[in-house]
C-alpha cells in the first residue's frame, strides 16, 4: 500500500513538471517568433530616443512637408482636412531684368500667399490685388534705388513684369492675377507723367511733408481723415502740372479736369515713397491705403432683381415666396467674391435702392431675417454677433 502511494506521488510530481515544461516551451516559441518578425525592420537602440534639451527652454519642432504621409488614395479627391501645399518650381525668367529678386523674397512670398491659386479669385479685391499693388510699388523703388530714375523703361518693364509674375506663379500664386487685378507692365513705366526722375521730383514736391505723412499710417484715422492719401494726391498733382483744388471741408483733394497723367504720377509718387521707406513700412502703408480705397465702393455686380421685386412688392408680412427669392438673389451675388463689412454696407444699400426703385417699399431685410453678414465675409462665421448688423440694415433701408 505504501509502495502504491509512493508511485502515485511520483506520477503527480512528474505530471506537474511536465506541464510546466510545456508552458515554458510555448512561451519560448512565441518570444522567438516575435523577435524574428521585428528583426528586419526594427533595431533596438538608444539612438532612437530623443535627446533631452540641455536647458529648460527649447524651440518648436519643425516638420518638413516632405515627412507628411502620402495620401493613400491618389485617384480620389483629397479629404477636406488633409494637409495640402502649393506646388512650387523653379521659375523660367527672361534674364533681362537687372534685379536681385532674392532681396525682395519676403514681400514676394507674402504676395504669392495672398494670391494663391484657389483663393485669388475670391479674395482678389480685398487681399490679393492690394498686396500685388504694394509689391509693384516696392519693386519700382528697389529697382531705382541705385539710379536717379523713379520708373522703368518700357522694354525693361516688360521683362521685369514677366519675371515677377513668373516668380509668383512658381510659388503658388494664381497665374491670372494680372487680369484679375488689372495690372500690366505699363504700371512700372510712369506712363504719361512728365516727371520721372528723383532730381526734378525733389525740386517740385515737398518731400519732407510727403514722407512724414506716409512713414507711419494710422489704419483707423487714414480712411476718415486722409493724411497720407492727401499728401500723395498733392504730390501727384504738383508733378503732373494739374491745378490743385481743395473742397470747402478741406478733407478731400479733387481734380476739376481728370486727365491720364494724374494716375501715372501717383505711381511715380508711390515709387519715391518705396525708395525712401523700408519694405515693411512701405507694405504696411500701401495696404492701409488700399483698404481705404476698396472700402469706398461695392465691388459686386448686381443684375436687376426682377424676381425679387415681383415676389416682394406690396408686402406687409413675411412671405415664403418673397424670402426665397431674396435669399436666392443674395446667395448669387455673395458667391462672386469675399468682401469686407464696410463694402457689405454699401452693397446692401445698392440692393435696397434697386428694390425701392422697383416698388418694394417694405423692409424685406427685416421680414426675411437678412442681416449684413449675408453680404459679407462674416457670413462664414455663424457665431458672429449679428445684432448690430441687423440694426444697420434696418437703418439702411429706411434711409434710402
Closest alpha carbon to 366 in 400, 335, 396: 396
- pLDDT tens by residue, 54-81: 544 444 444 444 444 444 444 445 444 4
The confidence band for 86, taking pLDDT boundaries of 50, 70 and 90, is: low
Q: Say if residue 377's pLDDT is above 50.
A: yes
C-alpha cell at 163: 519675371
Grid cell 512658381 is found at: 170
The confidence band for 374, taking pLDDT boundaries of 50, 70 and 90, is: confident
What 91-98 contacts at long range (C-beta under 8 Å, 24+ apart), as own/partner pairs, is: 91/163, 91/166, 91/167, 91/169, 91/170, 92/166, 93/163, 93/166, 93/167, 94/159, 94/162, 94/163, 96/156, 96/159, 97/156, 97/159, 97/160, 97/162, 97/163, 98/156
DSSP string spanning 165-199? HHHHHHTTB-TTHHHHTT--GGGGTTTT-S--BHH
Most confident of 178-182, 204-208, 300-304: 204-208
CA-to-CA distance for 329 and 305, rounded, in angstroms? 7
User: Rounded mean pLDDT of the chain?
Assistant: 75
Q: Say if residue 184's pLDDT is above 70.
A: yes
What proportion of the chain, given as a percentage, has pLDDT over 90?
34
Q: For the chain, what is the radius of gyration of the CA atoms?
A: 35
CA-to-CA distance for 168 and 116, rounded, in angstroms? 9
Provide mean pLDDT across the span 310-314: 87
The contacts of residue 212 (CB under 8 Å, 6+ apart) are: none
CB of 167 closer than 8 Å to CB of 136: no
Q: Say if residue 181's pLDDT is above 70.
A: yes
- pLDDT tens by residue, 200-241: 999 999 999 999 999 999 988 898 899 999 999 999 999 998
The confidence band for 17, taking pLDDT boundaries of 50, 70 and 90, is: low
The confidence band for 318, taking pLDDT boundaries of 50, 70 and 90, is: low
Provide mean pLDDT across the span 261-272: 93
The confidence band for 165, taking pLDDT boundaries of 50, 70 and 90, is: very high
The confidence band for 313, taking pLDDT boundaries of 50, 70 and 90, is: confident
Q: Say if residue 38's pLDDT is above 50.
A: no
The confidence band for 14, taking pLDDT boundaries of 50, 70 and 90, is: low
The confidence band for 255, taking pLDDT boundaries of 50, 70 and 90, is: very low
Length of the chain: 400
Indicate the SS3 state at residue 43.
coil
Closest alpha carbon to 357 in 400, 321, 320, 394: 400
CA-to-CA distance for 35 and 80, rounded, in angstroms? 40
- pLDDT tens by residue, 274-296: 999 988 899 889 989 988 888 88
What are the sequence ranges of the domains in the chain? 101-188, 198-294, 306-397
- At residue 67, the pLDDT reads 43
The confidence band for 178, taking pLDDT boundaries of 50, 70 and 90, is: very high
Q: Say if residue 34's pLDDT is above 70.
A: no
CA-to-CA distance for 344 and 333, rounded, in angstroms? 11
Amino acid at each position: 500500500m505504501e509502495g502504491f502511494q509512493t508511485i502515485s506521488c511520483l506520477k503527480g510530481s512528474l505530471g506537474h513538471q511536465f506541464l510546466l515544461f510545456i508552458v515554458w516551451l510555448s512561451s519560448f516559441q512565441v518570444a522567438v517568433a516575435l523577435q524574428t518578425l521585428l528583426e528586419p525592420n526594427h533595431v533596438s537602440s538608444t539612438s532612437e530616443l530623443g535627446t533631452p534639451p540641455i536647458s529648460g527652454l527649447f524651440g518648436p519642432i519643425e516638420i518638413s512637408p516632405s515627412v507628411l504621409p502620402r495620401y493613400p488614395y491618389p485617384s480620389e479627391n483629397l479629404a477636406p482636412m488633409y494637409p495640402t501645399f502649393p506646388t512650387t518650381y523653379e521659375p523660367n525668367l527672361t534674364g533681362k531684368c537687372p534685379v536681385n529678386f532674392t532681396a525682395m523674397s519676403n514681400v514676394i512670398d507674402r504676395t504669392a500667399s495672398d494670391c494663391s491659386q484657389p483663393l485669388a479669385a475670391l479674395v482678389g479685391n480685398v487681399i490679393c490685388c492690394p498686396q500685388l499693388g504694394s509689391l509693384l510699388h516696392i519693386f519700382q523703388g528697389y529697382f531705382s534705388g541705385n539710379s536717379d530714375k523713379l520708373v522703368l523703361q518700357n522694354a525693361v518693364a516688360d521683362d521685369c513684369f514677366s519675371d515677377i509674375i513668373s516668380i509668383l506663379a512658381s510659388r503658388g500664386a494664381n497665374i491670372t492675377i494680372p487680369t484679375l487685378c488689372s495690372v500690366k507692365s505699363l504700371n512700372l513705366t510712369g506712363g504719361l507723367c512728365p516727371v520721372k526722375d528723383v532730381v526734378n521730383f525733389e525740386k517740385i514736391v515737398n518731400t519732407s511733408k510727403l514722407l512724414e505723412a506716409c512713414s507711419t499710417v494710422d489704419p483707423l484715422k487714414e480712411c476718415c481723415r486722409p493724411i497720407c492719401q492727401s499728401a500723395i494726391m498733392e504730390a501727384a498733382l504738383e508733378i503732373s502740372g494739374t491745378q490743385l483744388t481743395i473742397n470747402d471741408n478741406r478733407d478731400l483733394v479733387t481734380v476739376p479736369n481728370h486727365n491720364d497723367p494724374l494716375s501715372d504720377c501717383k505711381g511715380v509718387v508711390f515709387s519715391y515713397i518705396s525708395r525712401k521707406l523700408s519694405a515693411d513700412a512701405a507694405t504696411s502703408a500701401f495696404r492701409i491705403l488700399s483698404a481705404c480705397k476698396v472700402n469706398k465702393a461695392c465691388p459686386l455686380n448686381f443684375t436687376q432683381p426682377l424676381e425679387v421685386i415681383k415676389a416682394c412688392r406690396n408686402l406687409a408680412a413675411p412671405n415664403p415666396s418673397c424670402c426665397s427669392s431674396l435669399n436666392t438673389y443674395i446667395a448669387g451675388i455673395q458667391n462672386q467674391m469675399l468682401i469686407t463689412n464696410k463694402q457689405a454696407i454699401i452693397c446692401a444699400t445698392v440692393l435696397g435702392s434697386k428694390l425701392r426703385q422697383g416698388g418694394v417699399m417694405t423692409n424685406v431685410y427685416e421680414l426675411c431675417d437678412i442681416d449684413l453678414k449675408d453680404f459679407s465675409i462674416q457670413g462664414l462665421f455663424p457665431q458672429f454677433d449679428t445684432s448690430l448688423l441687423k440694426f444697420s440694415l434696418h437703418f439702411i433701408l429706411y434711409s434710402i
